[in-house]
Amino acid sequence: MRISNWIIGLVTAAFFAGAWGITNRPVEEQPWRGELRGLSFAPYNDAHNPMTKVDPTPEEISKDLKAVASVARSVRTYTTEGVMMQVPRLAWKQGLTVTAGAWIGPDLDANKREITNLIDMTRSNGNITQLIVGNESVLRGDVTVPELMQYIRAVKALTPLPVSTAEPWHVWLAHPELADQVDFIAVHILPFWEGIDADQALQFVMERLEDLERKFPNKRVVISEIGWPSEGLTRKDAVASPVNQGLFLRRFLTIAKERNLDYFVIEAFDQPWKMQVEGGVGAYWGIFDADRHLKPALDGVLMNRPDWPWLSLATLAIGLPFVLWLLRQELGLKRRGRLFLAILAQGAVSATVWIYAAYSGLYLTDLDIGVLSVIAPATLLLLGIFLTEGIEMVECLWRGSSHRRLAPPALPADAPLPMVSIHVPCRNEPADMMIRTIKALERLDYPNYEVLIIDNNSTDDSCWQPVEVYCRNLGPNIRFFHLPKWPGFKAGALNFALAHTNPEAQIVATIDSDYEVSREWLKDLVGHFSDPQVALVQAPQDYRDGKDDIFKRLCFWEYAGFFHLGMKSRDEHNAIIQHGTMALIRKAALERVGGWAEWCITEDAELGLRLFEAGYRAVYTEKSYGKGLMPDSFDAFRKQRYRWAYGAMQIMKTHWRELLPWGERKLTRAQRYQFVAGWLPWIADGFQLLFVALALVWTAGMILLPQFIEPPLTLFLIVTLGMFAFKVGKSLWLYTQRVPCTLLERLGASLAGLALAHTVAKAVWRGTFTANLPFMRTPKLENQPAFIRGLLAAWEETLIAALLIGSGVLIMMTRGVIEPAAKLWAMLLFVQALPFATALLLSMINALPLGQRRRVSLPMAAAEQAKSPAAE
């Protein structure tokens, strides 16, 4: 272990561990050590729920009232139902007075029972000092003002005690006739629900109180609810936190004592059941938590995470070993690369600890647990992808020494060059294109090779017959085979070619049927095979029509990133992905591992993996030795990527034992990592499709059932949005440093990659649960207008994008006005819509005249005349 790695690990671990202390410094505020006038009282803990009639026992209520009596002189109740009838009697034993309440709702029979019980309570308990008939009944719309006035008059006629009803301040100001019927004003002033910043909250309270005193100068005003939650979602500028709860209550209680205000702090104990009616924040208004531990809101050190030393220690204890282990890997990074990687790794660990800390102090419902069981693994997967993306980034930008074999060993002057058998599978390919491919092979500057053209399962005789005729006059070293019905698809054709290869051939070369190879291809690369461990030499895919139109230019640079970045990084670890063209394979190694896999639709990548499992080496050269044709349409571009992703899932299902860290040790640790890390973003696209469906369902719940469904924890949203920003930034940075293209071309490459996310996602899911590639129908759109063609080609993506964007707009219109977390959720929906929207955009670019070819393909003869010898 280098000393510099220890220094880097310790510095980054100390920084992130120290951040817990920096962000949780104690807040200075004069503690409150006096007695409270009153507390709202509901004796329910996380095992009770008045909505399901699960009530506490009298013994539990007595214990709660004893805790209340240690800090307050009075309690306020809200209902007379069930066990609450016993509260005044039990409160009397603790020396507490009671402001008793009757719940008034839309059920007339229930209202009558509440009033009857309330009167009975007052006659039986001398410690009841005043009555409140109804709690926010007008605000909720359960009753009208005249109806509520009738209930108030009925109670006043039966008792000499002062009677009122409890409503927010604005309801009292809007209905002065209601004030005429009561003996005092019982008002709720809750600046948190108004979205007021904690520092401005006390001023807001006093201004509202003055408004009421001016409006009703002859009425006593009791603040029947005032408080601040210690946890929950932010509402406008109001942040629910332990610090803000303490700041607000301490400041209010101080001024309340100075002005002799009558009040009830809401509330005595946290009420987890209230999450069902007020959302998550409704559970955290107590000055005691649900376990009856006194919070530091009144007297104690104010900080949001009192347990931060343990969280800091966890960050250090988990992060430092992980970072040191990561830095020990054979990545060959410069110092700045190791520092950047350490920051990323420690940041991922810190985010994990942060998420744990955020949830460890919350009351969780079954719904919360269900959501968490989905979101938490997804976030870990996201952080894993974040790290793999980061490792690729630092390897590309800050690699020091390189282990790549860029130049082949020099061959002895008198050594004969090994014979190469070039295999060209094809099916229903245009004859003129195939002939151009063969002519390029004829011009190879290499003395000892053969060419096998294998046409398998072609249904159009006009495609293969002219090629067969052309090959007849080329001598015995260029052979053509037509296989009308042959199993195994492309792999079957390649296995047929292997069986008919010249026995003297030592190397098998494969190219796609549209590739025109350069003269020096074989001569430059066969020298690598002088190393008996080398079984594969791979040159990059390249395209001769990548600048024909806007659509192809975007796709061209999307392909280029893999070959300029990913393949070079993989080559450092002997873990390149073999692709089916421009590959040279040692024939003996190919036969030793069993030839081409006919069960796999990406037989090239699968063969490469088996060669590594057999202990062979591979060599990658980024120099282009051949150029083919790109997909002409968005649909073809998409189908190609679908096949690659589907094949990757087939490979993982078959080779999973070898890919596990504790696998059969056929692969090195670096090879395992490179293959899994390479496919991980595709797997993430698959999960992203699932998350999109869940996000739409969740959004519907947020809109239709806002009292039950809240946005997920803000931290998850920040991690998700941050990951998206990092991936985009990383891609643009790497392209800027390593891929020779303009800014517009870099942006276009990102657009093309995003447009394939939905296609990849579908391939991942189908590849996971099916064994054979399903038939992919190409829509018959030739007779449709260009706009319609573009729209129909990407109709699935268009529909999903519209749903996500529409959902985001609805969230902004309904909840985004007051909830920052809802705004973040809407932003996440918009970000999720981007890949689907870009698919539509790319399809339109391909379909509309702007994206059409600027030049048309020349006929065969004209094309040959147009090409000069110098162009070869």
| Residues 279, 706 contacting (CB under 8 angstroms) | yes
Q: How far apart are CA 448 and CA 442, in angstroms?
A: 12
pLDDT digits (tens, 9 = 90+) for 852-866: 544 434 333 333 333
Residue 825 CB coordination number (10 Å): 27
Q: Domains in the chain, start-ordered, CATH in brackets?
A: 3-21+306-398 (no CATH), 26-283 (3.20.20.80), 420-541+579-630 (3.90.550.10), 683-851 (no CATH)
Helix or strand (DSSP H, E) at 799: helix 795-814
The per-residue pLDDT for 773 is 67
| Residues 562, 469 contacting (CB under 8 angstroms) | no
Amino acid, res. 335: R
Q: How far apart are CA 529 and CA 537, in angstroms?
A: 8
Helix 335-360 / helix 366-398 crossing angle, nearest 10 deg:
170
Residue 112, C-beta contacts closer than 8 angstroms, at least 6 positions apart: none
The per-residue pLDDT for 859 is 37
The per-residue pLDDT for 490 is 92
Q: How far is C-alpha 208 from the geometric centre of its chain's CA atoms? A: 43
The per-residue pLDDT for 661 is 82
The per-residue pLDDT for 870 is 30
Helices (H), 544-668: 550-561, 567-571, 587-592, 603-613, 634-659
Helix, strand, or coil (residue 74): strand
The per-residue pLDDT for 867 is 35
Q: How far apart are CA 371 and CA 367, in angstroms?
A: 6
pLDDT digits (tens, 9 = 90+) for 372-406: 887 788 888 888 888 888 888 888 888 877 777 77
pLDDT digits (tens, 9 = 90+) for 717-776: 777 788 788 888 888 888 988 899 999 999 999 999 999 999 999 999 999 998 876 544
Q: How far apart are CA 632 and CA 770, in angstroms?
A: 28
The per-residue pLDDT for 858 is 35
Under-50 pLDDT residues of the chain: 775-782, 853-872
Average pLDDT, the chain: 89
Residue 135, strand partner residues: 166
